[in-house]
Amino acid sequence: MENHSNKNIDYSFLLEEDVQRNFADLHTCLLSGKHICFTEDYTFYSLLEKYEPHWKFFYRNLYGLNLIDDTFDQQVYYYLDFFDSDRGKLNDSSRSRQLTELQTTIGLVLLDMYYHRYFNERKIIYWADIKRMIEDSEFREQYQKLLFRIIRPSYTEQEWSRVEKLFNETITSFAKLGWVSKMSGQGEELIFEIKPAISRMAKIYEQELSDLDVLIKKLNNTTAI
């Protein structure tokens, strides 16, 4: 669709009834950093797909942003990004919507959990699953050092409670990005579904993930959890 001639693409699509009816909410979601997926935001997704070259033209010319349609696990999702993004740097202050070190740490755990459930139709996660991943996964020592700041055979109930709270807060933030769908309310057991858009983590930190130990070292040097 990128090959369409600009002379055939303008802003007239904004006058279409379906666009006018949903523009404000869709525009706000995209600018807030949300990833629009078919299964979660059918109306918004359909509008982006229907007028895709027009939306790309709109955001490129008026905002200098790139509307990207990405695919992961056979599902397509849309999001906005800068054309000159340097996704591989942890401390690039020029990037808006930059992940904090805590969010990066938890995002890596969730990405790992998604891959472990790759062939499951839905990736529904409970707190017990997260705890088991931190205790027993291949990268347990790295995760424990990041989340607890020290590697020990076991941790106190209070320490686990603190980490669970950190996960809960971050899951709420990720839900706004469309990376997860939260299934638990305030004060309830943490339950959520990881969405394909979590693969954005792998794109943001593509270079670092080729050497996880280097990424972990960077996070350890910058995180005060």
CB neighbours of 199 closer than 8 A, spacing ≥ 6?
A: 70, 72, 73, 111, 114
How far apart, in whole angstroms, are the C-alpha atoms of residue 149 and residue 7?
57
Is the residue at 95 inside a domain?
Answer: no
Same domain? 213 vs 112? yes
Same domain? 119 vs 198? yes
Same domain? 165 vs 138? yes
CB neighbours of 130 closer than 8 A, spacing ≥ 6?
A: 109, 113, 164, 167, 190
Same domain? 113 vs 197? yes
Q: What is the pLDDT, as a whole number, of residue 35?
A: 96
Vertex 218: Cα angle to 110 and 81 (nearest 5): 60
Contact 68, 79 (CB under 8 A): yes
Same domain? 127 vs 188? yes
Q: What is the pLDDT, as a whole number, of residue 178?
A: 94
Q: What is the pLDDT, as a whole number, of residue 20?
A: 97
Is the residue at 15 inside a domain?
Answer: yes
Q: What is the pLDDT, as a whole number, of residue 102?
A: 80
Closest by CA position to 193, among listed 201, 185, 181: 181
pLDDT values of the chain reduced to their tens digit, one per residue, 225 residues? 444 455 678 899 999 999 999 999 999 999 999 999 988 899 999 999 999 999 999 999 999 999 999 999 999 999 999 875 444 443 444 333 567 878 888 888 899 899 999 999 999 999 999 999 999 988 888 888 888 988 999 999 999 999 999 999 999 999 999 999 998 765 678 899 999 999 988 888 776 666 666 666 666 665 544
Is the residue at 38 inside a domain?
Answer: yes
The CATH number given to whatever domain includes residue 11 is 1.10.10
Q: What is the pLDDT, as a whole number, of residue 47?
A: 97
How far apart, in whole angstroms, are the C-alpha atoms of residue 68 and residue 177?
15
- At 118 the three-state DSSP class reads coil
Q: What is the pLDDT, as a whole number, of residue 145?
A: 86
Is the residue at 160 inside a domain?
Answer: yes
Q: What is the pLDDT, as a whole number, of residue 42?
A: 93
Instruction: Please tell me the pTM assigned to this model.
Output: 0.79
The CATH number given to whatever domain includes residue 120 is 1.10.10.2260
Q: What is the pLDDT, as a whole number, of residue 10?
A: 87
Q: Where are the beta strands (DSSP E) in the chain?
A: 36-37, 65-72, 75-82, 123-126, 180-182, 191-194
Same domain? 112 vs 62? no
How far apart, in whole angstroms, are the C-alpha atoms of residue 144 and residue 141?
5
* Count of domains forming the chain: 2
How far apart, in whole angstroms, are the C-alpha atoms of residue 29 and residue 141?
37
Q: What is the pLDDT, as a whole number, of residue 100?
A: 80
Structural domain that includes position 204: 101-222
Q: 18, 47, 82 — which closes off a domain?
A: 82
Same domain? 105 vs 191? yes
Residues counted in the chain: 225
Q: 82, 116, 138 — which closes off a domain?
A: 82
CB neighbours of 165 closer than 8 A, spacing ≥ 6?
A: none
